[in-house]
Amino acid sequence: SCILDETNICSSDSFGTLKVPPRSNSTNILSSLETLPLDGYFSFENNHHAARDFGNMYHFLPSVVLHPKSVLDISTTIRHIFQMGSASELTVAARGRAHSLQGQAQAHQGIVISMESLQALEMQVHTGEMPYVEVSGGELWINILHETLKHGLAPKSWTDYLHLTVGGTLSNAGISGQAFRHGPQIDNIYQLEVVTGKGEVVTCSEKQNNDLFHAVLGGLGQFGIITRARISLELAPKMVKWIRVLYSEFSIFSKDQEHLISSENTFDYIEGFVIINRTGLLNNWVSSFSPKDPLQAREFKSDGRTLYCLEMVKYFNPDETKTMNQITENLLSKLSYIPSTLFHSEVSYARFLDRVHVSEKKLQAKGLWEVPHPWLNLLIPKSRISDFAKEVFGNIVTETSNGPILIYPVNQSKWNNKTSLVTPDEDVFYLVAFLSSAVPYSTGTDGLEHILTKNKRILNFCATAQLGMKQYLPHYNTREEWQTHFGSLWEVFLQRKSAYDPWAILAPGQRIFQKAT
Ligand code: FAD
C-alpha cells in the first residue's frame, strides 16, 4: 500500500512499510543514542506502528521510537542530533495520535517521538477571571474535555473529533463549528512550551518569544515540538440543542450560513454538509445524530437531488430551556430551509462534542476505520464558493461521495493572522472537507485510485479557475508548490526555519524541507 517511494530502492514488507538498506554511518549514530541519559527509553525494534497513520497510504519505518517520560528526554535527544550537524541524517517526528493523512507524523529511518508517553505534566485547571488549563503536548482533547468539565469549564474551540493530541491539532489549526466566532484552536492558546530543532526548551506566548509562539501555531511541526500548552477556557454549558435543516439550493443554503456567522447573537456552533444521494443522507443521520423524530428523517425523499444540510447548535443549561427555545425559534425563523426538514435533538455538551467517536466505534466494529483515507480539505474564499459548488457538486462529485463532505464559512476577522496558518485572502472563507474512505483493493468508484483522481480533478479546477483556494492539512510534493501555498509568508517561514530548526531535523513527513547533510 505504499504509494510514495522516495528512494526507488524500497520494497514493502507485509506491513507495507519501507525497507531500505541502512546508511553506512547510521549504525554508529544509532548506538550513540543509547548512551543518552533518559527518564524514558528508546525502542529500536518492533516499530511498525510508527509507520502507520489514519490516511493509511504512506508507510515510512523509523529507526527508533523515543518514549519520553520528560521534556528533558526530548530536548536531550534533539540536542544530540543537532550537535552532530551534517554528520547525521537522522530526522525527528513528533507523533501525536498519527491521525495525519500522508505520513506527516512519520520519519523515514529517523526518530519518532511518541508524544502520548509524555506524562511529565498532569492537567492543571486554573479558575478565575481568565480560566485556563495547562496540559502536555501529547494530551488528548477528549481528556481535556472531561477534566475541565469537572470545574464547569471547557475550551472554546474544538475539532469535530476529540481523540487527537494538542500538539497535533495546534500544528495545523483545529477547526470546527465554533471557529467562526472564536477562531481555530491555535487562536485560543495563552502559552506554549516548545523544544526547538536545536534542543532548546523555550516558553513562548504573545508577550514572550512571540516569534516562536506564532511560528509554532499552525507551523506543521517545523519549528519545535510542543511539550506543554496553556489553553483558554470558558464556562461550559450542560446541554446543547442540536438542529439540522435541509436545502436543495446551494445559494440559499450558503446565504443562510453566511447570515448566521455574521452576527454575535447566533448559534454557538455552525457547520453544514453536502448530501450527494440518499445513502449519504441516511449514513449521516444514523451515525451520530438522533433526532427526536428519526422516522421523519428517514422518510424524507430527496428524489435523487443533491441536498445541503445546515447544522447548528445552541448551548444551554436546563434552567434556561425556555429562553433557549425562544432564541432558537427566532434564529430559525430568519432561515429559508425546506420547511418540512427541521430535525432537532437535545444531548449533553460532552455527548455532542464526542459525536464522531460514536461513528468511529461503529466503523471499527465493521473493520471500516482502518482503511485508506484520501481526505481533501480546502479553504475557499466566499466570493468563489458558488463557482466551486457549481463545478464540484454539479460535475465532479455527483453520484456518490465515499464519505461526508463538510462545508461551512468562518470569519477571518476572528482569526489571528500572525500564526503560520495560511488562509485565503478574504474576510469570509469556507472550509470544505471531503472525508473519503476507500474500500481496500477496490478498482471501482469506491477504490483509492478513483478517489485520488477525483481529488485531483477538484484541485485542478481550483487552480484553473483561480479560486484563491488554500489547502488545510496541506500536502504537496515539491518546494515550488509549498512556496505557492505560503505565498508572501514563504520568506518568513524560511527565516523561522533557519532560526529554530537550521538543520531541518523536525517533521520531515511534511516534505517541506530536507535535512541538511
Ligand atoms: P499527528 O498526526 O500525530 O501529527 C500531525 C503533525 O503534527 C505531524 O507533522 C507531527 O509531526 C506534528 N506533531 C504532532 N505532535 C506534535 C507536537 N507535540 N509538537 C509539534 N508537532 C507535533 N482537524 C480539524 O482541524 N478539525 C476537525 O474537525 C478534524 N477532525 C478530524 C477527524 C478525524 C477522524 C481525523 C482523523 C482527523 C481530523 N482532523 C481535524 C485533522 C487533525 O486535526 C490532524 O490530523 C491532526 O494532526 C491530528 O492530530 P494528531 O495528534 O493525530 O497529530
- Residue-wise pLDDT tens digits, 403-431: 899 999 999 999 999 999 999 999 999 99
Nearest to 149 by CA among 354, 358, 357: 354
Q: 144-158 burial by CB neighbour count: b if 16+ within 10 A, else e?
A: bbebbbeeebbbbbb
Pairing of strands 224-235, 269-275: unpaired
Section 270-279 average pLDDT: 85
User: Cα separations (Å) of 130 from 155, 191, 235?
Assistant: 12, 13, 10
At residue 336 the predicted structure's pLDDT band, cuts being 50, 70 and 90, is very high
Q: Give yes or no for residue 288 having a pLDDT over 70.
A: no
Better-predicted residue by pLDDT, 452 or 288: 452
Section 182-202 average pLDDT: 98
Query: What is the percentage of the chain residues whose pLDDT exceeds 70?
Result: 90
pLDDT value of residue 8: 26
Q: What is the mean pLDDT of the chain?
A: 91
At residue 300 the predicted structure's pLDDT band, cuts being 50, 70 and 90, is low
Distance 164 CA to ligand 1 centre (A): 6
pLDDT value of residue 18: 39
Distance 79 CA to ligand 1 centre (A): 25
Q: What is the 3-state secondary structure (H, E, C) of 280-299?
A: HHHHHHHHCCCCCCHHHHHH
pLDDT value of residue 3: 33
Please give all residues whose beta carbon lies within 6 A of any atom in ligand 1, as ranges: 54, 93-100, 104-105, 115, 137, 159-161, 164-165, 167-169, 171-176, 220-221, 225-226, 356, 473, 507, 509-510
Active site annotation includes 450: no
Distance 95 CA to ligand 1 centre (A): 9
Residue nearest to atom 37 of ligand 1 (CA): 99
Section 322-327 average pLDDT: 97
- Residue-wise pLDDT tens digits, 111-156: 999 999 986 578 999 999 999 999 999 999 999 999 999 999 999 9
pLDDT value of residue 302: 66
At residue 46 the predicted structure's pLDDT band, cuts being 50, 70 and 90, is very high
Cβ proximity of 314 and 240 under 8 Å:
yes
- Number of other CB atoms surrounding residue 113 within 10 Å: 32
Section 446-464 average pLDDT: 97
Enter the C-alpha cell of residue 510: 511534511
Q: Which of 172, 186, 354 to mutate to test the pocket of ligand 1 (most atoms within 8 A of CB)?
A: 172
User: 403: alpha, beta or left, given left = phi > 0 and alpha = psi -120 to 50?
Assistant: left
pLDDT value of residue 116: 94
Q: Give yes or no for residue 362 having a pLDDT over 50.
A: yes
Active site annotation includes 160: yes
Range in 106-110, 207-211, 238-242, 303-307 the model is least confident about: 303-307
At residue 289 the predicted structure's pLDDT band, cuts being 50, 70 and 90, is confident
Enter the C-alpha cell of residue 312: 447548528
> Which among 120-124, 367-371, 463-467 has the top mean pLDDT?
463-467
Cross-strand partners of 225: 195
Q: Which residues contact 64 (CB under 8 A, 6 or more apart)?
A: 30, 33, 42, 43, 44, 47, 110, 111, 112
Better-predicted residue by pLDDT, 172 or 298: 172
pLDDT value of residue 296: 62
Task: Give the sign of the dihedral formed by CA 296, CA 299, CA 303, CA 305.
Answer: positive
pLDDT value of residue 14: 33
Q: Give yes or no for residue 340 having a pLDDT over 80.
A: yes
Catalytic residue selected from 39, 160, 346, 360? 160
pLDDT value of residue 325: 97
Q: Give yes or no for residue 167 having a pLDDT over 90.
A: yes
Active site annotation includes 293: no
pLDDT value of residue 17: 40
Section 26-34 average pLDDT: 86
Q: Give yes or no for residue 353 having a pLDDT over 70.
A: yes
- Residue-wise pLDDT tens digits, 67-98: 999 999 999 999 999 999 989 999 999 999 99
Give the orientation angle of helix 355-365 with respect to helix 278-287, to 10 degrees.
110
Closest ligand 1 atom, CA of 221?
Answer: 21
Section 4-26 average pLDDT: 39
Better-predicted residue by pLDDT, 278 or 483: 483
ipTM > 0.85, yes or no: yes
Section 188-204 average pLDDT: 98
Section 341-357 average pLDDT: 94
**Residue 407 backbone dihedrals phi, psi, to 5 degrees:** -155, 120
* 8-state DSSP, 488: G
Name all domains of the chain by residue range, CATH numbers in brackets: 11-113+499-510 (3.30.43.10), 124-235 (3.30.465.10), 239-472 (3.40.462.10)
Distance 349 CA to ligand 1 centre (A): 23
Q: Give yes or no for residue 306 having a pLDDT over 70.
A: yes
Q: Give yes or no for residue 445 having a pLDDT over 70.
A: yes
pLDDT value of residue 21: 42
- Number of other CB atoms surrounding residue 464 within 10 Å: 9
Residue nearest to atom 17 of ligand 1 (CA): 167
